[in-house]
Every structure is written in C-alpha cells, then in structure tokens.
Amino acid sequence: MNRTLNELADAEDILGIVVRYQTALLQAIGSMPRFDACVACGRTEDAIYFSTQEGGILCRHCEPGHVEKRALSDSALRTLRAAVDRQTGTTCDQSRTPGGGYVGAFDILDYHLAHLMGRPSSLADKLVSPQTRRTIR
C-alpha cells in the first residue's frame, strides 16, 4: 500500500499503477477473474467479452449464452494479462502492456469490483471521465 501511494505521488501514468493495485487487491481477496482463457470452453483466442458472474473472459462462441457481460478490447485484454502475469510472478512481455490499454483494463476491473462491492466505485470518475468508460449506475 505504501509503495503504491509513493508511486502515485510521482507518477505520470496513474492508471497503470491503479490497474496493478486492483489486480493485487483482487488476488489478495481471492476474486481474481480469469483472463487467460474463456471461462466456458477454455479457448485462448477470440475473447471479446468479460463476465463478472462467470468469473472471467468469454469467447465469441460462448458469449451468446450469457446475459451479464461487458465488451473487452484486445488492448485491454493484453494489459490485464500482463498485470496478472506481474502479480503472479509469471514472466511477462512488457510490450503486452500498451498505454492505451490501461483505460480498458481499469474499466473492466472497476466493473468487476463494483459488482463485488454492490455499488459503483467513488474513485472511478476521478480517474477516467464517465464518457471515456462505461459505468454501472
């Protein structure tokens, strides 16, 4: 926690730090979603949705059968996978973490955390404008 606060004080890329913190928090509380493969069938390609209720990503083949889901961009998925790799100590390719993917990754993790908390995050609108991201209202 102290390390995160110190990083935020000097950071230009606040969302990157927040995404790393969100993944650490989810890992610590045992609620980390699955981003490595479709939670329904195990496919590692064609992931286009995220479902909190299902606990991870859904491929295009499985998503029609699920009501609760959120669109997931390729850059957000790459960023989420890299953040999870970093958190779990897996060797990760730093090029998998594009700067533009942090907004999408933050949006997905904030969406997941909001569902777990039962209410929207009060911090979310301070970091990313509501027009840039989707919100739970």
Query: How far apart, in whole angstroms, are the C-alpha atoms of residue 54 and residue 49?
Result: 11
Contact 3, 9 (CB under 8 A): no
Domain chopping of the chain, boundaries: 2-127
Query: How far apart, in whole angstroms, are the C-alpha atoms of residue 12 and residue 3?
Result: 15
In tens, the pLDDT along 13-36 reads 788 888 988 999 999 999 999 999
| pTM tops 0.85 | no
Contact 24, 84 (CB under 8 A): no
Q: Give 7: exposed, middle or buried? Use CB within 10 Å, 0-12, 13-18, 19+.
A: middle
In tens, the pLDDT along 55-107 reads 999 999 999 999 999 999 999 999 999 998 887 665 444 444 445 689 899 99
Q: Which CATH number fits domain 2-127: 3.40.50.720, 1.20.1440.120, 2.130.10.10, 3.90.226.10?
A: 1.20.1440.120
CA 8 to chain centre: 19
What's the token pair of residue 48? Answer: 């286009």
Query: How far apart, in whole angstroms, are the C-alpha atoms of residue 103 and residue 61?
Result: 26
Q: Which long-range contacts (CB under 8 A, 24 or more apart) does 117-124 make?
A: none
The candidate with the shortest Cα–Cα distance to 104, out of 37, 36, 45, 18, is 18
